[in-house]
Amino acid sequence: AQKITQTQPGMFVQEKEAVTLDCTYDTSDQSYGLFWYKQPSSGEMIFLIYQGSYDEQNATEGRYSLNFQKARKSANLVISASQLGDSAMYFCAMREGRNTGNQFYFGTGTSLTVIP
């Protein structure tokens, strides 16, 4: 079974609108971390936001927020007030356990295009 599932291969959003990128995960661990990364056309992987499994509040980082629904095992990324520079691939990832070195599992990504 896939550890991380991203069901939206491509998404379009109008500039200044909000967009939600979906991510579901599969784990039996009680302790885990959820992450989102952005990969622009230049190719680098940029860390965006982190949510711990024990965090009671949804994580926020500027215009990014993570809609964490533990019972549904979903960790959707919400980008508010989209900008042209948000056009990129977005990857959801999970780390099981609390160990620094634990393996990360990545989804297949969602390509976001922001339309002017």
Binding piece for other proteins, criterion CB under 8 A, among 11-19, 21-29, 39-47, 63-71: 39-47
Closest CB to other proteins among residues 99, 116: 99
User: How far is the C-alpha of 116 from the C-alpha of 114, rounded, in Å?
Assistant: 7
Token representation of residue 2: 């896939």
Burial of 105 (0-12, 13-18, 19+ CB in 10 A): middle
Q: State in angstroms the smallest separation of the CB of 17 from other proteins.
A: 26
b/e string for 26-35 if b means 16 or more Cβ within 10 A? ebeeeebbbb
Tell me: does residue 50 bind other proteins (CB under 8 A): yes
Tell me: does residue 56 bind other proteins (CB under 8 A): no
Tell me: does residue 25 bind other proteins (CB under 8 A): no
> Which parts of 68-87 interact with other proteins (CB under 8 A)?
none
Q: Are 49 and 35 in contact (CB under 8 A)?
A: yes
Q: Which residues bind other proteins (CB under 8 A)?
A: 4, 6, 31, 33, 35, 37, 43-45, 47, 50, 52, 55, 91, 93, 95, 98-104, 106-109
